[in-house]
Amino acid sequence: MIQLTEAATLDIQDEIAVITINNPPVNALGYPVRKGIADGIDQVVQNDQVKAIVITCKGRTFMAGADIREFGKPPLEPMLYQVLETLDECPKMTLSAIHGTAFGGGLETALSCHFRIAVPTAQFGLPEVKLGILPGAGGTQRLPRVIGIDKALKMITSGNPIGATEALQDGLIDEIVEGDLKEAGIQFAKKVLAENRPLIRVSQNDEKIAAAKGNNEIFDHFRKSIARKTRGFQAPENCIKAVEASINLPFKEGLKRERELFTELLKGHQSAAQRYVFFAERQASKIPDFPKDIPLLDIKKVGIIGGGTMGGGIAMNFVNAGYLVTIIETKQEFLNRGLGVIKKNYEITASKGKMSTEDVDKRMSLITGSLNLKDLADVDLVIEAVFENMDLKKEIFSKLDGICKEGAIMATNTSFLNVNEIASVTNRPEYVLGLHFFSPANVMRLLEIVRGAKTDKSVLATSLSVAKKIKKVAVVVGVCYGFVGNRMIAQRGRETGLLLLEGATVDQIDRVIFNFGFPMGPFVLSDLVGLNVGWDDKSSSGSTIREVLCEAGRFGQKNGLGYYKYEQGSRTPIPDPDSLKLIADFSAKKGYEQREIGDDEIIKRAIYALINEGAKILEEGIAVRPSDIDIIWINGYGWPAYLGGPMFYGDLIGLDKVLETIKQFHAKFGDVWKPANLLEKLVAEGKGFKDLT
């Protein structure tokens, strides 16, 4: 065996050469891998004895893409596209033997071989678009030639992978193999040689794209079909342009066009933001000074108290991951309703073909309903999801303390209450923490894990591990009112509310926030959630705009009147002079002078309020690192990934500029705008939030 580089070996057995890549953890195509493949091919080409090359990987996966950490650094030759050109033109038979995830540059490598085989669990994808770039080593030119334009467009612009069965059906792989993969690769190569099969160079094979030539409608139609989902992102459009080039240009010209479009994206700030988000998401699960080998508690059975929208959504997460779930309600009627909603949600998924009816039954069979808290005696994790009332929560936790078995984790789903106070009513505060899900809990990816003052490290580590199993992006936060996300959004809410009183209109603010990249503006969102959620007509005293609107019977979309009006059966908000008058009257009563407010002021007040509060949160140690705050905002509040999150955005604008504006607001609007000490310190030192990570 020859050691080609520290990440690649060459093993020649008779007429077959095997290049094995070993670059943990995911065999990313960094320099030693690229150089290893290039040198391996070189040696094989000069060796008359060898007739075929099998490329395979050690460890948990085939190559999962280019090494993202190398982007933005001085390039080290050979570049991936150069290696793949050599592979493409290799006169000897080439084969990729795939397990795990052949992603990005990994799939591009496989596509540059004559043949591809894979194990049944392998996955294939070009996820570059999620990093704000496009497949830049021939993926946009080769994939359409293998699986056709329609499918290639879908895979490249969504970044979503397909499994081995689909890949086989689409002609992306030649065979699914069982057993030892390297051996299967050698046998496949021998078979091809024995049968004298022609070698298939994808670059020379235009059969599957021929029909699309000159048919630009395919692309126009496709653009429209993804426009809503990809609003604001630059990469999907460049992906489409690159695929267009695959049919309109000869292969080598197409490659050049692909590189231009790739480079354009790589230089832009969107890709920098999206790559930052990729690593930030992975970093979020790492707690500084936390030992790696911390023992985890065994979680199999989960109890959920409250079967309403929140409790039901939380239950679905666990059921989807195969956990046994017991839902506790106070009345049979509520329990039936809660279980009914869960079943209906699964049936809707099944009706869309995304799950079988047997799966619906299987998942429902994992759920037990009960009216008795004592049925939680044997659960390993209990999550309380009742409404936000400290006394009620304390009563529940004190009961749980007497019911739950030793070692059970007791979590509250509170979105702002003091977790330490809740823990204090138990004799085991080290087993108590917050697991703050976001609504709809079965859809939203974010989970704030609230670490109490006494939460045990193994309880925290177990919660992080469970979060991964239920496919949540977990971020550990400290105890304060509203934790990270809700504490920050309260600042934005205050500013957008004041802007209304000062003369901005409801639809102006919503338009500006929507155009910034959020899925919707704050007032459309309030109408959607319902203005009367948490509103009490007995204690309402007309002291906020929301109270005024509720008192006028405007509860939001649910009754067709909120900040906007809605036609029956429609969700389209229509600006309503009646609500504007209520707001203007309220503003006059409060003594505000209405003025013309520019879009720029709206952005600055809504967004810089987040940055300033984020800095205070960091200062207080409520969030571990700035990127954790960004992950919370992207996954829980719809912050556009291409702007990296509020802290990343602060750095992008320049903290000196942000601070200057905050100081102006402080002088004009008072102490709510007091600059965070951390912000002042960073600016004084010429640093950004990035320097804290």
CA torsion sign for 185, 189, 195, 200 is positive
271/579 with CB nearer ligand 3H9? 271
- The Cα 568–Cα 667 span in angstroms is 46
Q: Which is nearer to ligand 3H9, 127 or 556 (CB)?
A: 127
Strand order across the beta sheet in which 52-57 lies: 2-5, 8-13, 16-21, 52-57, 93-98, 115-118, 175-176
Cα 221 from chain centroid? 27
| Shortest Cβ 473–ligand 3H9 spacing (Å) | 12
Chain centroid to Cα 533, Å, comes to 28
CA gap 387, 412 in Å, rounded: 11
Q: How far is the CB of 470 from ligand 3H9 (least distance, A)?
A: 14
Q: To the nearest whole angstrom, how small is the minimum distance from the Cβ of residue 205 to ligand 3H9?
A: 20
353 by DSSP, 3-state: which? coil
Smaller CB distance to ligand 3H9: residue 128 or 547? 128
Dist. CA 659–CA 675, nearest whole Å: 7
Cα–Cα distance measured from residue 57 to residue 433, given in angstroms and rounded to the nearest whole number:
41
| CA nearest neighbour of 437 among 400, 459, 411, 465 | 411
> Considering the complex, what minimum distance in angstroms separates the CB of residue 669 from ligand 3H9?
41
Output the smallest distance, CB 71 to ligand 3H9, in A. Answer: 8
Q: Which is nearer to ligand 3H9, 557 or 635 (CB)?
A: 635
Backbone angles phi, psi at 624, to 5 degrees: -75, -40
Report DSSP letters for 148-193, one per residue. Answer: -HHHHHHHHHH---EEHHHHHHHTS-SEE--S-HHHHHHHHHHHHH
H helix intervals, 424-573: 457-469, 485-502, 506-516, 522-529, 545-551
Helix (H) or strand (E) holding 56: strand 52-57
CA 223 from centre of chain: 23
Question: What's 464's DSSP letter?
Answer: H
Are the C-beta atoms of 36 and 21 separated by less than 8 Å? yes
In whole angstroms, give the CA distance from residue 255 to residue 85.
10
- Which one is catalytic: 6, 85, 108, 166? 108
CB nearer to ligand 3H9: give 125 or 303.
Answer: 125
Q: Is 128 a catalytic site residue?
A: yes
Catalytic residue among 77, 85, 128, 281: 128
Q: How far apart are CA 598 and CA 604, in angstroms?
A: 10
Contact between residue 437 and residue 413 where contact means Cβ atoms under 8 Å apart = yes
Beta carbon of residue 145, minimum distance to ligand 3H9 (angstroms, whole number): 16
Q: Which residues bind ligand 3H9 (CB under 6 A)?
A: 25-26, 28, 61, 64-69, 80, 101, 103-105, 108, 127-128, 131, 135-137, 139, 279, 282
Catalytic residue at 108? Answer: yes
Question: Minimum distance between the CB of residue 341 and ligand 3H9, rounded to whole angstroms?
Answer: 31
Shortest separation between residue 482's beta carbon and ligand 3H9, angstroms:
29
**Residues labelled catalytic:** 108, 128
